[in-house]
Amino acid sequence: MSTTITPAKPRRALPPLMQLSEAAAERLAALYAKGDEGKLLRIAVSTKGCSGMSYDMSWVDAPASTDEVVVDKGLTVLVDRKATLFLIGTTMDYEVKSLSAGFTFVNPNEKGRCGCGESFHV
């Protein structure tokens, strides 16, 4: 009796949990250097808005045991572990428009956004 062993398929590399665009990295570095020195930005996903989910950002003093630590372009961002499945492959950007400026998210997991752009669904 002979047995044939089939080698396991190599696993495909996962995309990074989150990346920062150059503009987001510049703005975040400026925020870290100013009044928010010593604090870290935590990104989470909360259930709210007309599409069901929205990005939630807050300043914290230290990572929690439930945070994933993302380091990109020399900057540290925390991601709430409950949000990781919704954020895999996301790029955080910083946009300046004629009447507003702020962080935005380019998330390949989004299936749609509400009309006002404040919430999304996957």
Could you give the CA distance from residue 29 to residue 23 in angstroms, rounded to a whole number?
10
Domains identified in the chain and CATH numbers: 18-110 (2.60.300.12)
Does the pTM surpass 0.85? The reply is: no
Q: Take residue 62 and report the two structure tokens written for it.
A: 């230290």
CA distances from 23 to 52, 80, 90, 101 (A): 28, 23, 15, 11
The H-assigned helical ranges of 8-105 are: 22-33, 84-87
Per-residue pLDDT 10s for the chain (122 aa) are 566 777 777 776 667 889 999 999 999 999 988 866 689 999 998 877 665 778 899 999 999 999 999 999 999 999 999 989 888 899 999 999 888 888 988 888 776 665 555 656 56
Provide the residue type at 116 as one letter.
C
Residues contacting residue 42 through CB under 8 Å, at least 6 positions apart = 57, 58, 59, 60, 64, 67, 77, 78, 79, 80
